Amino acid sequence: MRPINKRRWLVEHEGRIHAVKRGRSGRFHFENMPRLHRILAFFLRVTFTKWIGQVNALKVKLEQFDLACPSLPAAFDGLRILLVADPHIDNTDALVEKIIKAVDSVAYDICILGGDYTFGRAWKNAIDYSNLETIAKYLVSRSPVYGVLGNHDIYDVGELLETIGVIMLVNDNAGIDRDGEKIYISGLDDCHYFGADDIKLTDESIEEGVFKIMVSHSPETYKKAADAGYALYFAGHTHAGQVCLPGQKAIVRGTSVPTRILNGLWHHGKMTGYTSRGVGTSGIPVRFFCPPQIPLITLRSVPQIQ
pLDDT at 45 > cutoff 50 = yes
User: DSSP secondary structure string, 229-296?
Assistant: T-SEEEE-SSGGGSBEETTTEESS-SSSS-GGGSSEEEEETTEEEEE---SS-SSSS--BS---EEEE
**Residue 131 and residue 93 in contact, taking contact as beta carbons nearer than 8 Å:** yes
**Residue 175 and residue 181 in contact, taking contact as beta carbons nearer than 8 Å:** no
Cα(142)–Cα(136) distance, rounded to whole angstroms?
10
pLDDT at 305 > cutoff 60 = no
**Residue 168 and residue 136 in contact, taking contact as beta carbons nearer than 8 Å:** no
Greater confidence (37 vs 263) lies with 263
Cα(244)–Cα(164) distance, rounded to whole angstroms?
36
pLDDT at 18: 75
pLDDT at 100: 96
pLDDT at 4 > cutoff 80 = yes
Q: Does residue 181 come out as left (phi exceeding 0), alpha (psi in the -120 to 50 range) or beta?
A: beta
Greater confidence (90 vs 270) lies with 270
Helix, strand or coil for residue 301? coil
- The pTM is what? 0.92
Half-sphere exposure of 54 (CA within 13 A, CB side): 12
**Residue 91 and residue 285 in contact, taking contact as beta carbons nearer than 8 Å:** yes
Greater confidence (122 vs 219) lies with 219
- Identify residue 134 by its one-letter amino acid code: T
Average of pLDDT values for 97-107? 96
As a residue count, the chain comes to 306
pLDDT at 28 > cutoff 80 = no
CATH topology for 23-300?
Purple Acid Phosphatase; chain A, domain 2 (3.60.21)
pLDDT at 88 > cutoff 80 = yes
CA 113 to chain centre: 6
pLDDT at 304 > cutoff 60 = no
**Residue 180 and residue 147 in contact, taking contact as beta carbons nearer than 8 Å:** no
Q: What is the pLDDT of residues 49-77, one digit of tens each?
A: 999 999 999 999 999 999 999 999 999 99
Q: How many CB atoms lie within 10 A of CB 213?
A: 25
Average pLDDT, the chain: 90
DSSP 32: G
Q: Where are the beta strands (DSSP E) in 11-124?
A: 61-68, 80-84, 110-113
pLDDT at 120: 66
CA 180 to chain centre: 30
Cα(284)–Cα(252) distance, rounded to whole angstroms?
14
Average of pLDDT values for 273-294? 95
pLDDT at 306: 47
